[in-house]
Amino acid sequence: MLEVEGITKAFPGVVANDDVSLTLNQGEIHCLLGENGAGKSTLVNMVFGLYRPDQGTIKVRGEEVHFEDSGDAIARGIGMVHQHFQLIPVFTVAENIILGNEVTKGAFLDLDSARRQIDSLAERYGLAVDPDATVGDLSVGEQQRVELVKALFRDADILILDEPTAVLTPGEVDDFFGVVESLTGQGKSIIFITHKLREVLAVADRITVLRAGQVVGTATAEGATQQSLANLMVGRDVVFRVDKAEADPGAPVLRTQDLRVADDRGVETVTGFDVEVRAGEIFGIAGVEGNGQRELVEAICGMRPTAGGRVEMLGQETTDWSPRKINELGVAHVPENRSKHGVVAQYTIADNLVLNRYHHRKFSQRGVRNTGAINAEAQELVEQFDVRTPGVDAVIDTLSGGNQQKVIVARELTGDLKALVVAQPTRGLDVGSIEFIHRKIIELRDRGVAVLLVSAELDEILSLSDRIGVLYRGRLAGTVNAADATREELGLLMATGSSEGQR
């Protein structure tokens, strides 16, 4: 169906794709695997006409093509579901789907017949969508279905799915795989981009691994293992199991009692949360996103007013303290929203590294910053935390997500810590960075820090935590010892709030 031969694409300063070749057969799921920045997205953006290659050829059904824009690619039957959905939140589902390919009656839009076409597509491929719903009101899973229908509406036979599962809950991922199977069953061919190894092995027919813009290996699903793929991706042996000693918990450090918190709309999403995290243990909070995780973390760290209950740290009540006061107790926070709460995008790496300490005597005297001391400290942290950067005076926005996260972790993990609250610490990061950050968290625990870990990645929770609580509708549905926990049991708790599986 599709042949990519010897594609090279350079951006100022980087060669994103270097002589990359790839073929896609009809009815096949071809996985494109690689770390962040390996060039996966660049490659498919060229196939979809958003970028133009510097060298090399693209053939669709044996015919060489030169796309000027994605309209050309769409006309050749290529559809793409982007990692960040390309939807217009204030439009209805039908309007989003027909945009650019409008169904008309005379000079006017014909939304009635568009609706009928959408309904019939939805039925044929098992993609339930309501054409009249406003997209902004839909869940992430539903939005993804809209994206798929959008591509199918344009008669795409070649579907490019860019990290489609990154935003889905475990249950939604299973549904999604079902949809993918039914698509290939009806003759569609799929390029599936991901860096999750489990998924690759679950769905792929063939696998191409990219590293630093080059193809480093091609495999069939039968011959591959998670370990072999990971080694190919990273270019060295990857340790999967996080090695850690038995926890040695001490005194309680962080405690909440009947904590209640409201979200931005005023709806109470944390509805009576009790937890006790002790020194030297990692308490993992699992749960489907949107069950109050964000509000819980923000309330504990002083970023959001509580609506009731109390928070205690190190024996003092800290309910509704300011973030700085809580921070100065020795409580660090790695926030979920990296760009909004984690870094100041236009500041340098050095300034970002001292955001929580710039006012200390060491870094400023009489209201004047001591840039020498700040840069020296930054230099040391950059080396210690292996931040890949041209220098500490680079603007942090120029770094990759993984390196930005390392900067945040470096900043938060420095100092005399008693407790650490981390939310989604490795979201969107590649295998290498994940491994590194996990090791740091374990190190901290071994030094006697109490860690509260919130993550949507069940694997992360399972491999790091000593105890695991499942957050369901704003309260703990159950707490288990990590050693005894199984994916199945946790999955059931996450989905239904009860280990018996009744609602």
Given the rule CB under 8 A, which residues bind other proteins? 45, 48, 50-52, 69-72, 74-75, 80, 82, 85-91, 95, 98-102, 104, 107-109, 150, 260-268, 305, 307-308
By beta-carbon proximity to other proteins, the closer residue of 82 and 255 is 82
Specify the residue, 70 or 496, whose C-beta has the smaller distance to other proteins: 70
Q: SS3 string of 124-142? A: HHCCCCCCCCEHHHCCHHH
CA distance 457 to 463: 10
Closest CB to other proteins among residues 108, 223 = 108
Kindly give the interhelix angle for 371-384 and 401-412, rounded to the nearest 10 degrees.
110
Element (H, E) at 170: helix 170-185
Distance CA 349, CA 398 (A): 10
C-alpha to C-alpha distance for 129 and 181, rounded to whole angstroms: 18
Q: Residue 467 CB, nearest distance to other proteins (Å)?
A: 29
Q: Is 319 helix (H, G, I), strand (E, B) or coil?
A: coil
- Which CB, 73 or 387, lies closer to other proteins? 73
- Note the Cα 222 to chain centre separation in Å: 27
DSSP state of 291: S
The one-letter code for the residue type at 228 is S
Contacts of 223 (CB under 8 A, 6+ apart): none
The residue (of 48 and 176) whose beta carbon lies closer to other proteins is 48
- d(Cα 339, Cα 286) in Å, to the nearest integer? 23
- The residue among 26 and 86 lying less far from other proteins, judged by its C-beta, is 86
Least Å distance, CB 424 to other proteins, is 23
Given the complex with other proteins, which of 284 and 309 has the nearer CB atom?
A: 309
Using the Cα atoms of residue 100, residue 104, residue 108 and residue 112 in order, give the sign of their dihedral: negative
The answer to whether the CB of 448 falls within 8 A of the CB of 435 is no
Q: How far is the CB of 494 from other proteins (least distance, A)?
A: 25
CA nearest 439: which of 426, 456, 421? 426
